[in-house]
Amino acid sequence: MNAVDRSARAWLTHLDVERGVSANTLKAYRRDLARWTAYLTAIGVDDPATVTERHVTEFLARLREGGEEHPPLAASSAARTLVAVRGLHRFLALEGDVEADPAAAVSPPPPPSRLPKAISVSEVQRLLAAAAVGDTPAALRDTALLEVLYGTGARISEAVGLDIDDVDVEAGVVRLQGKGGKQRLVPLGSYAREALTAYLVRGRGTFSGKGRGTPAIFLNQRGSRLSRQSAWSLLRVAADRAGLSGHLSPHTLRHSFATHLLEGGADVRVVQELLGHASVTTTQVYTLVTVQQLREVYAQSHPRAR
């Protein structure tokens, strides 16, 4: 392990112990820094003090171009990797381990302008109905999970991370733990409450009897906490049954949650709180979705629109 590797490990430890970043974020940063340190090793740089802005710029170009070790990265993936690199070298500069931050002036590639994808209310209903096929413990679990995802706008990591104590079904509220360990309380609608109650009463016990007493709400066949990958899989199965296969993901339900709230007249700042966004600017992208839909309705309905 050379000095660059040790510096990367020190920064990851700092993020974990002192900053308390999530395990998923740490995993992503560790993977991104592995690419960075491997690149530096390949070009003969083993000391962070000798890293220059040119090294960072060429590394970013290599990410976008691809090579034998990996295919070309999208702008968003390359930008995320650059965030890890910049974070490492900013940390080293603040700690006094290096004189200057060589990555400070390197800008990430601009992401493509894309609006969040949402599905219609009728398509959400088809998806939820497809998950509820049968009265098995797995069907009860899948239905409850998808109802929670759509009914609360939770991220998939927040939903599978729920414990029994995080949900008060009678009061109709759920405590979600978001990015950076921030918690928020979100109302549970009647459909989500009914689905959760059915699962907790008639389904969860079948799974928990095979495990070691985990407090997790959503369990797999071994009685352990349901993973994000398994949640993706059960969503794909339900989407295929509903004829919605394609790019549907757990985050699609989060986008649909926000879009349908705004279409129903919800204030954007209320939606911001429900989604757990630190800034209302992040939430305002959903208003563009609803304006686009208004334009479509106008174009189809108004006699002078065309």
- What are the residue numbers of the active site? 155, 179, 251, 254, 277, 286
Q: Does residue 216 contact residue 225 with C-beta atoms inside 8 Å?
A: yes
Gap between the Cα atoms of 119 and 250, Å rounded:
12
Q: Are strands 183-187 and 173-177 parallel, antiparallel or unpaired?
A: antiparallel
Phi-psi region of 20 (alpha: psi -120 to 50; beta: other; left: phi over 0): left
Residue 99, both tokens: 């004189």
| C-alpha to C-alpha distance for 287 and 10, rounded to whole angstroms | 41
CB atoms within 10 A of CB 43: 10
Distance from C-alpha of 200 to C-alpha of 218, rounded to nearest angstrom: 9
Residues whose CB falls within 8 Å of the CB of residue 183, separated by 6 or more in sequence, listed in order: 175, 176, 177
Q: Specify whether the CB–CB gap between 244 and 256 falls below 8 A.
A: no
